[in-house]
Structure formats: C-alpha cells, structure tokens
Amino acid sequence: MMTKIAPAIVVLGENSVAVARKIKSVLPGATLYGLAGRTREVDVSFTNFGETLRELFAEGTPLIGICAAGILIRTLAPIICDKRTEPPVIAVAEDGSAVVPLLGGLSGVNDLARHIAEALNIQAAITTTGDIRFRTALLSPPSGYHLANPDDAKTFISDLLAGAQVKLEGTASWLSNSQLPIDSQGDLTIQITERLAVPTPKRLVYHPATIAIAITNTIDVSSIQQLLADAELAPASVAAIFAPLTIAANPAIHAVAEALGVPTRFFTSNHLESLLSQGYSLAQAVAIAATGTPSQLITPSSPSSPSSSSSSHLAIAIAPEPIDPNTIGQPRGRLAIVGTGPGASEWMSPEVKEILKSATDLVGYKTYLDLVGNLADGKRRHESDNREEIARATMALDLATQGRYVVIVSSGDPGIYAMATAVFEVLDHHAKPEWDSIDIHVAPGISAMQAAAAAVGAPLGHDFCAISLSDILKPWSIIEQRIAAAAQADFAIAFYNPVSKERTWQLTTARNILLQYRTPDTPVVLARNLGRPGQTVKVITLEQLEPGVADMRTIILVGSTQTRTIQQSDGSISVYTPRRYSKVQSAEC
C-alpha cells in the first residue's frame, strides 16, 4: 500500500542531490529537503537535522534519508512509539546502491522501497519475513483494499509461517498470485468482500474499494450511512463519491466525502447523456458511469432507507474490481492565484510552495514562471505576455473546468496590482456556467513594497499608500488626484509601474506634484530587481527623482514629511518613518 502523503527526501550534502532528484522523479509531490550551506537548489533548506526529521515524522510524512541508516534510527528513536501509525522511513545509500526500509511496515514501507529501488535499478533490502516468503504484505494491502482487522494479522501471519494453510473467499489477484499456502480446506481464511463481515483471529477480512456512491443533490451523511447499512455494505469499500459536474461546488458533496475519507469525482453531461437516454435516473446514470456496469445497482427504496425526497438523488453501484477514482470522471477543478514574493525563493511562503508542488498547470508571464524554479518541474506551462491579463485569467478558468489544478503565478502579492483582481474581473463580467464548479483560492505573497522597505529599514513604518503610475487601465487625471491627495495627507507613498519605454513623463509629473507638499530633500528609495540577480537598493532625494533612475522593475518609496535617514558606519543609509509625529505627544508605545 503506497502512502497517500507525499514523502520528504532528506539530504545532508550536495553529493546526495543527484540520487535524491532521481527518486523524486518517480514520487510525484515529494519535497527535497537539504542541509543549509551544504546543498543547493533544494525545495526546503533546514539547519537542524534532528528537529526537522522528528517534526516530519510526527506529522506522518514518509521519510527517505539519503544517509546512513544509523543516523535515521538514532534521530527518530526517542519518538518511535506506535507501529500502527508510524510513517514509512527508508535509508538510501549516497550513491544509490542500497535501499533499506526501516520503519512503517503497516503503512507500505516495503512497497515504497521497491518503487524507489526500481527507479535506481537495484533490489530493495526487504527483511520482513512474511513479505519474503509469501511475496505479499498482508498487513499493508495494495491500494484499493482495506484490512478490517489488522490487530489479528500478526498472529495470523505467525500461524502461516508456522505451516498453516489458508483458504480464500472472494477474489483478489494480489492474493491468488502470491506464494501464500492456499488450500480450499485451510484452517485460516482470507475473505475479500464489500459486504459487512465479522472478522476473527483466524479470518482476515479485506474490503475492496468497489462501491461507488452517486449523489445528485444535497444529501447528509446519515442518509448515506443508512443506505449502506440497509444494503449490508461496508463503508470501507466506498471508493469515492461521484456526482454531476454541475454540483461540484455543493459543500454537502464534499462533506460526505470527507466523512467517509474518500475523494470526489465528477461527470460532465456528455459522460451521462447516453445512460440518461436509456431511462436511468441521474443518480443511477452517475453510479453506472462510475462502475461501468448496471448489474449491481442499489437505490433507496425500503421504509428504513432515506426519505423519498432524497432517494431520487442517491444511488450505489458495485464494480467487479476495485475502482481507481483517478481514472474515472474528473476531480473538482481548482484555481489558485499565488504570489511568489519579489523573486528570492526564501521569500516564497510555505503555502505557495505546497500549492505549486500540487499543481498540474502553471499560467503566467514567462519571467514570473521562471521565478518558480524547480517547483515547475513536471507541470504544464502556459506562458503569455504580461499585458494579457484577461486572456490569461480566462484560459486558467477554462483549464480548471477540466478538473486540473491550475496556478496563476504572480510576483509579489497576487492581490496588489496583479492577477487576483483580473480573475475576479473575468468572473464578474464574463462568467461561464461551468466556472461555478471551480474551487478558487488566493495565496498571498510578500509585496514588492514590503521587500523594498525591509531592504532599507522601515520607510513604511507609519501610514502609507500604494499608487500605480500606469495609466493603461485608469486615466491619468485620477492618478494625479490620488498623488495630490496622498501628498496633502502626508502619506509615505509606494509607486508601482513608475516608468516604461512608452511612459516617461508620468514620473516627472508625480515628482512635481509631490514637491508642492514635500521638501526637495525628502528621502526616496529606489529598489530594483528585488530578490533577483542584479538587485539594487538606492536612496536619493525627491528633487533627484527623474525617469532615468527607474524602470518597470523598480519600485519607488517616497517618504512623508516625517521620514528620516540614518547614515551607518559602513557607509549604507537606513530610512525609516517614525511611528509618531514629532509635534504630537502620545502615550502609545
């Protein structure tokens, strides 16, 4: 049974990174952790190996350490307590010559080790006696099967190792193709069934994920549970909740799936049209589409079943083989609009990194997509010109309706002069019915004005505002009014988009407006290419502000009347705006 949580690959030196990347290539979503100062271009840098490892282990994250087995064992020993809940832990030799599963026998460590070993073209060092003799792991069945009584399995396996024989009730190729001592007269029994069954120490019960539950309207969890009970079906055999795409945003659908611990999958009207034309109800059509067969179709009908008002919106079908939801229908489409920060990877939030790792498609201006670095590996890239915001937002929404996890990448913060607003503008003015099914999320980033302020001190330490000098989307007359109002109100001001090849006079005009309210020596910060190669941060005065000192990669911070500069002993200049006005007495700290 492969773990559902993406593993962490932990390396202590640059020599291990090549092997780590080969392993990562066969483990979608895996995160590469590298020791700071000794590794480069990793997903996450850490400084304390022990704390990092123990924290990941406690969170249930599978661990793949490209290091000696001993260091993993000694590091984790103080917190190893329950083999039933521990995640897989695997040691891999630095040169990729050995893969040794250490912990997590009940959570698929041997299968994970074999998968890694196959990628490295070697044999995994499996030491579990049952796995070696029987060529199967009864305690960790493959995906699509659930062991109902794991507490009985240890004694059961011991009896098999001692010479007992076992009979199979039901079918499962992973068992019939194993080297188990199968005999129709065996004293032990393995039962494979989606029906409710009573396990015993001499009877292991496996529930295959063969049940598809179809929902076409709001249904509560109790209705589902009652229908399963009436049909004497095991909840552990439910593979997924299936529904029409038109109700993908219905929270009740996802609440049921969460309660049962299964995914949701959706069908478009094209998938269901043929079945509906044969006279099946919508719920029946969805259930049959999920299983491929109407032979075992169950709908509520008895007095003890859910009410008649909900019966027509609910159906169950049983497939002859375990259902893989990843190959049926489509997931609910997701669209995330993220901000990477100004550019440096260390300024990218953990939330944004997790979103980027999970994405299927990345949409954005090429320069911004390049900022993502190796987090873009394996993703579909959809590049467009920086001025095509509406087209970009529309394309991203259309991609998401196909069940993809689409991420629009902005630099800085996506809600500050960036793509989040464009997406909601499109939703507001150009809405398509199919977009209603999409889960939309905005993930913040460090804005350019925050990064610029931090680079020089605290020029935005008191009240401030942000104004874009681009008049492409708003008239210059409005911009002039805002500059004058902000200057008169004595705000510190962050100017975005100050100069381009086509726009040069606006910055001069803005300076002249400011000089009506500020002294010529007012501090001005010019920050260019923040967090990227060629970063420069310079402090000038307001009278020195002219188009030649800035471009579209520059953010400009203009101080208020209270903003001050400090000449440091190393020759640098710090800029800050006091928290209080010098002429105002305040008890505030």
Residue closest to 358 by CA, chosen among 244, 249, 441, 448: 441
Whether 190 and 204 share a structural domain: yes
Whether 477 and 369 share a structural domain: no
Whether 439 and 461 share a structural domain: no
Q: Is residue 583 assigned to a domain?
A: no
d(CA 554, CA 228): 62
Whether 27 and 116 share a structural domain: yes
At residue 305, the pLDDT reads 39
Q: Is residue 135 assigned to a domain?
A: no
Each residue of 399-431: pLDDT tens digit? 999 999 999 999 999 999 999 999 999 999 988
At residue 4, the pLDDT reads 67
Domain count, the chain: 5
At residue 57, the pLDDT reads 94
At residue 132, the pLDDT reads 80
> Could you please report the per-residue DSSP string of 107-170?
GTHHHHHHHHHHHHTS------HHHHHHSS-TTSPPTTEEES-GGGHHHHHHHHHTT--EEEES
Looking at every residue in the chain, the average pLDDT score rounds to: 90
Whether 342 and 412 share a structural domain: yes
Q: Is residue 584 assigned to a domain?
A: no
Q: Is residue 348 assigned to a domain?
A: yes
At residue 311, the pLDDT reads 60
Question: What's 582's DSSP letter?
Answer: T
Question: What's 86's DSSP letter?
Answer: P
Q: Which of 66, 94, 127 is the last residue in one of the domains?
A: 127
Q: Which residues of the chain have pLDDT under 50?
A: 1-2, 302-309, 584-589
Strands 314-318 and 297-298: antiparallel
Residue range(s) defining the domain that contains residue 41: 8-127
Which CATH number fits the domain that encloses residue 519? 3.30.950.10
Which CATH number fits the domain that encloses residue 108? 3.40.50.11220
In the block, tokens 């396996």 appear at 157
What percentage of the chain exceeds 70 in pLDDT? 96
Whether 460 and 397 share a structural domain: no
Q: Is residue 476 assigned to a domain?
A: yes
Whether 261 and 285 share a structural domain: yes
User: Please, are residues 147 and 138 in contact by the beta-carbon 8 Å criterion?
Assistant: yes
Q: Which of 306, 327, 348 is the last residue in one of the domains?
A: 327
At residue 502, the pLDDT reads 80
Q: Is residue 588 assigned to a domain?
A: no
Whether 216 and 298 share a structural domain: yes
CA angle 99, 105, 107 (to 5 degrees): 105
Q: Is residue 1 assigned to a domain?
A: no
Sign of the CA dihedral running 35, 37, 42, 46: positive
d(CA 220, CA 165): 44
SS3 175: helix
Whether 258 and 244 share a structural domain: yes
d(CA 194, CA 227): 14
At residue 585, the pLDDT reads 43
Whether 222 and 320 share a structural domain: yes
Each residue of 6-48: pLDDT tens digit? 899 999 999 999 999 999 999 988 999 999 999 988 888 899 9
Q: Is residue 587 assigned to a domain?
A: no
Containing H/E element for 182? none
Q: Which of 186, 208, 230 is the last residue in one of the domains?
A: 208
At residue 586, the pLDDT reads 46
Whether 563 and 520 share a structural domain: yes
Q: How far is CA 61 from the centre of its chain?
A: 14
Whether 566 and 469 share a structural domain: yes
Instruction: Give the CA distances from residue 546 to residues 47, 482, 540, 565, in Å, rounded to whole numbers and listed in that order.
Output: 44, 19, 11, 20
